[in-house]
Structure 1
Amino acid sequence: MSTPAPAVLGASEEAIAKGSKSFAAAARLFGPRMREDAVMLYAWCRHCDDVVDGQELGHGRVARALSPAERLDGLYEETRNAYRGAPSAHPAFAAFAEVVKRNDIPERYPLQLLEGFRMDVEDRRYETLDDTLTYCYHVAGVVGVMMALIMGARDDVVLDRASDLGLGFQLTNIARDVMEDAAIGRIYLPASFLAEAGVPEAEIAAREHRAAVAGVVARLLDVAEPYYDQALIGMAALPFRAAAAVGAARGVYRAIGVEVRKRGPKAWDARVSTSTAQKAGFLAGGLAQALATRFKGAPLPRSAHLWTRPQ
């Protein structure tokens, strides 16, 4: 087994500590090797997202000479080079090369994530729920699949459930970040949902539409629930500590959606997040949930209406 260079692992640890407190908290439950891989994968995902959006760890704006499309093309090239063994001076790509090699992650999965970033670069419009779910798969569901591979999963049923959880996460993110996204011209809520609620897409951030938007968001959060439920099936097939980490992350993100729904039209007056104490509670809950999966009965039936990931 190869060992990541201390500088590479250190940069990855810094990225997760600053970029996602929720993911960092859940990752504490992994064993050492699995945690290294999860942190390195996160660092690459975070780097690619930042390069495309011109941000630093998901915040602010960083001046860049190239256009978003040109920056994305560069990420495609660097990603393919990593699979061909070409060295990279950037710690995120050095980490990426290490993690895909250690876990035999097929090249199609990281490229599918980059396809999701291309949807943003091209200002893709999401007319239907299926359009929104397709985006959710590319920016989050496929990350769930890669994480499951790091956890040792190879069965398609388990990978499908990992994708389901990623979709649930992203639907929650969309619900929480509606106004932030609208401010930069991005609308991920299905246009058909907005039309049915009488909300013009150009006026999604207007105060007079807050109640109607809250209704659309509640509808999207309803869609997320079966995906969170389906994730429980996959947890039973994971190693105990991995299942606990997944259960903790599931609890944190689902709680964000619950709070967004509870606040209604006031959901975007302040950013919804979970406190340190709440995260600690979800870590304990993840352990309990993982233990429960060791003694599970018949698996949950898969809901027929759920979106299916591409193979």
Structure 2
Amino acid sequence: GRCYLPDDWLALLDIGPGEHLRPHNRKKLALMARWLADEAGQYEASARVGASRLPFRARWAVLAAAGIYGDIARKVRAGGEHAWDARVFTSRGEKLRWVKSAFMDARRNQPVPVNREGLWTRPRA
């Protein structure tokens, strides 16, 4: 009975409480998944910049995770309504490629600056 989708997005798409998994809402969920994937892409890019301040091993881990989970979001976005037909995942080979790529990026440590406007930021203490 849990739903981890933003209430304001559900309301915007006229999806009532507990109705998000009903078949007639599938197109609306595909649209919402695209919005979430787009937002995740912005956070992925931001994480690559933030990772530059971490020690090498942590930077490598963050960059690998950003790529792996970013791939899942991109696949869900590309799948549209069919993203719910089967579990979306990254293969072992895709993960290995991300780990290798992240290693090189972590060693190089030259992230491309991104605009963080509109992204969540921790409140200052």
CA contact (8 A) 1:244 1:286 kept: yes
Looking at structure 1, the residues matched to 32 and 114 of structure 2 have their Cα atoms a distance apart, in angstroms, of: 27
Looking at structure 2, the residues matched to 190 and 230 of structure 1 have their Cα atoms a distance apart, in angstroms, of: 21
Q: Which sections of structure 1, spanning at least 5 residues, go unmatched?
A: 1-184
Cα distance change, pair 301–212 in 1 and its aligned pair in 2 (3 A): closer
1:262 is aligned, of 78, 101, 108, to 78
Cα deviation per residue 1:8-49 (whole Å; 9 max; x = unaligned)?
xxxxxxxxxxxxxxxxxxxxxxxxxxxxxxxxxxxxxxxxxx
Ranked by relative contact order (alpha carbons within 8 Å, sequence separation 6 or more), the top structure is: 2
Question: Which residue of structure 2 lines up, in the alignment, with residue 221 of structure 1?
Answer: 37
Looking at structure 1, the residues matched to 49 and 43 of structure 2 have their Cα atoms a distance apart, in angstroms, of: 11
CA contact (8 A) 1:204 1:213 kept: yes
Paired amino acid for 1:308: T
Paired amino acid for 2:87: R
Matched, 1:201 2:14: no
Deviation at 1:222, TM superposition (A): 1.6
Matched, 1:250 2:66: yes
| Matched position secondary structure for 1:300 | coil
CA contact (8 A) 2:45 2:114 kept: no
Looking at structure 2, the residues matched to 247 and 219 of structure 1 have their Cα atoms a distance apart, in angstroms, of: 22
> Pairwise CA RMSD of aligned residues?
1.9
Deviation at 1:225, TM superposition (A): 1.9
Matched, 1:308 2:121: yes
TM-score w.r.t. length of structure 2: 0.86
Looking at structure 1, the residues matched to 116 and 64 of structure 2 have their Cα atoms a distance apart, in angstroms, of: 23
Cα deviation per residue 1:72-93 (whole Å; 9 max; x = unaligned)?
xxxxxxxxxxxxxxxxxxxxxx
Paired amino acid for 1:203: E
Deviation at 1:226, TM superposition (A): 1.9
The total of aligned residue pairs comes to 124
Looking at structure 2, the residues matched to 248 and 254 of structure 1 have their Cα atoms a distance apart, in angstroms, of: 10
Paired amino acid for 1:214: A
| Matched position secondary structure for 1:223 | helix
Cα deviation per residue 1:227-261 (whole Å; 9 max; x = unaligned)?
11111222222222322221111111110101111
TM-score w.r.t. length of structure 1: 0.37
Looking at structure 1, the residues matched to 55 and 10 of structure 2 have their Cα atoms a distance apart, in angstroms, of: 42
Deviation at 1:266, TM superposition (A): 1.5
| Matched position secondary structure for 2:3 | coil
Matched, 1:186 2:2: yes
Looking at structure 2, the residues matched to 266 and 301 of structure 1 have their Cα atoms a distance apart, in angstroms, of: 31
In our comparison, the structure showing a higher alpha carbon Rg is: 1
Paired amino acid for 2:59: A
Paired amino acid for 2:121: T
Q: Which sections of structure 2, spanning at least 5 residues, go unmatched?
A: none
Cα distance change, pair 195–262 in 1 and its aligned pair in 2 (3 A): same
Cα deviation per residue 1:126-148 (whole Å; 9 max; x = unaligned)?
xxxxxxxxxxxxxxxxxxxxxxx
Deviation at 1:303, TM superposition (A): 1.7
